[in-house]
Amino acid sequence: MNADSTPPVLIDPYRRRIDYLRVSVTDRCDLRCTYCLPKGFKGYEEPANWLSHAEMARLVGLFVRLGVRKVRLTGGEPLLRRGVTGLAAALAALPGLDDLSLSSNGTRLAQHAAALKAAGVRRLNVSLDTLDPGCFARITGRDCLADVLAGLAAAKAAGFAPIKLNMVVQAGVNEDDVVRMAGFALEHGFVLRLIEPMPVGDTGRAARGIDLSAFGLRLAERFGLLPEIKGQGAGPARYWVAPAGGMSLGVITPMSQHFCAACNRVRLGVDGTLYLCLGQDDRVPLGALMRAGADDGELTAAILAGIAAKPERHDFGSQPAKIVRFMAQTGG
C-alpha cells in the first residue's frame, strides 16, 4: 500500500462499516462452561499454529490502518496466554486505535488487573453466570467463584469502570439468579448484561435460553431503570440505566431479536483465521497467508476481499446445527 494514499475503510456488501475486531489470543480455557466447551474437550489448536504476539500486532495494525477503531482481546481465556499484557501495550500504542478492551472469565484477573490497566486496556467484560457457588460449579466445571469475585474487586481497585458482567441466562439453570445478579451489579456499580445462548457447537445447541427481550424490560421496570438512547461501547446490547447512575442493565438477544443489520465486527482466531460471522463458516486464512510470506499489501487485499464477502446475517434460527465449531475455537 502506498504510504501517501488514503486507505479504504472496511464497508461490507450491506453498507455496514466494520470498525471492531475481536482477537483471540488463545483457544484454551480453564473453565468448561456447559454452553461453550464439552467436558474432556481436547480439540485445541496446536501451539505451533498460534500467532506470536508480533504477528498478532502486525495483523491488528493492518486492520487499524483500514479503519478499525475498537479491539477486544478474547479467548478462550486470554489471561492463560503468557505475555498478554505486553501484547496489550503494543496494541494500545497503535496510532488510530481508540479503544482496547478485554474479555475474561475472571479466574486470573486478581493477578493481572493492575498490569492490564497500566498496559492501556480501557474496559473489561467478565463472564459471571451466577452468584451461587454450587450453580457456578455446575455451569463451569470448577468451584472457583471466589477467585472470580476477587478478580472483580481487583479490577475495580485498579480503576476499571465500567466493568461489564456477562451473564448467559439458561432456562432452569440460572434464570432464578438474575435478580440477585442485578442487585450485585447495583451494589458495585457494574453493568449487568444478560445474554441468550447461541447454537454454536453441540454444547451451544444443548443450552436452552429464554426470550430476554421481554425479560429485560420487566427487570428494568423492577429496578426503576430507564431506556438508554445511546448504547455503551461497540456491542449489540440494548441498555437501561438508573436515573441517578450506579447501575446499567443490557440484553444481548441473538436469538429472539437478532442485531445482524447493525453488525460492525469480525473475529481473528488464535491461528490468524479471520471469521466474518459467528453464525457462518465464511473465513479468510490470514495467518497462513502471512506465514507463507505475504506482504502487508497482500494481507490488506485479503482482508478487503473477506469483508466484501461478509454474510448478511447468521442462520441460527433456520439452521441451528450449521456451526459445528465450539465458541472457544472462534473467539468469544
C-alpha cell recorded at residue 107: 479466574
Is residue 233 pLDDT above 60, yes or no? no
In a domain, 3, yes or no: no
Residues 85 and 100: their CA atoms lie apart, in Å, by: 12
The boundaries of the domain holding residue 223 are 20-330
Average pLDDT over all residues of the chain: 87
Q: How far is CA 160 from CA 116, 118, 212, 239, in A?
A: 10, 11, 27, 19
In a domain, 84, yes or no: yes
Least confident of 158-167, 234-243, 280-289: 234-243
Express the helix, strand and coil content of the chain in percent, nearest 5 each. Answer: 35, 15, 50
Nearest C-alpha neighbor of 58 from the set 225, 308, 291, 314: 291
Are 73 and 119 contacting, i.e. CB atoms less than 8 angstroms apart? no
Which among 201-215, 248-262, 289-303, 312-326 has the top mean pLDDT? 289-303
H or E stretch covering 103: strand 99-104
Q: Could you tell me the CATH number of the domain that includes residue 171? A: 3.20.20.70
Return the number of other C-beta atoms located less than 10 Å from residue 294's C-beta: 15
In a domain, 91, yes or no: yes
pLDDT in tens, 68-81: 999 999 999 999 99
pLDDT in tens, 1-48: 444 456 568 999 999 999 999 999 999 999 999 888 777 777 788 899
Are 81 and 88 contacting, i.e. CB atoms less than 8 angstroms apart? no
In a domain, 10, yes or no: no
In a domain, 160, yes or no: yes
pLDDT in tens, 172-184: 999 999 999 999 9
Counting the structural domains of the chain, the total is 1
In a domain, 2, yes or no: no
Residues 233 and 262: their CA atoms lie apart, in Å, by: 13
Q: How confident is the model at residue 57 (pLDDT cuts 50, 70, 90)?
A: very high
C-alpha cell recorded at residue 219: 427487570
Is residue 144 pLDDT above 50, yes or no? yes
Q: What confidence score (pLDDT) does residue 97 get?
A: 97
Q: What is the pTM of this model?
A: 0.89
Instruction: Give the 3-state secondary structure of residue 37.
Output: coil
pLDDT in tens, 244-285: 776 789 988 866 666 688 889 999 999 999 999 877 778 999
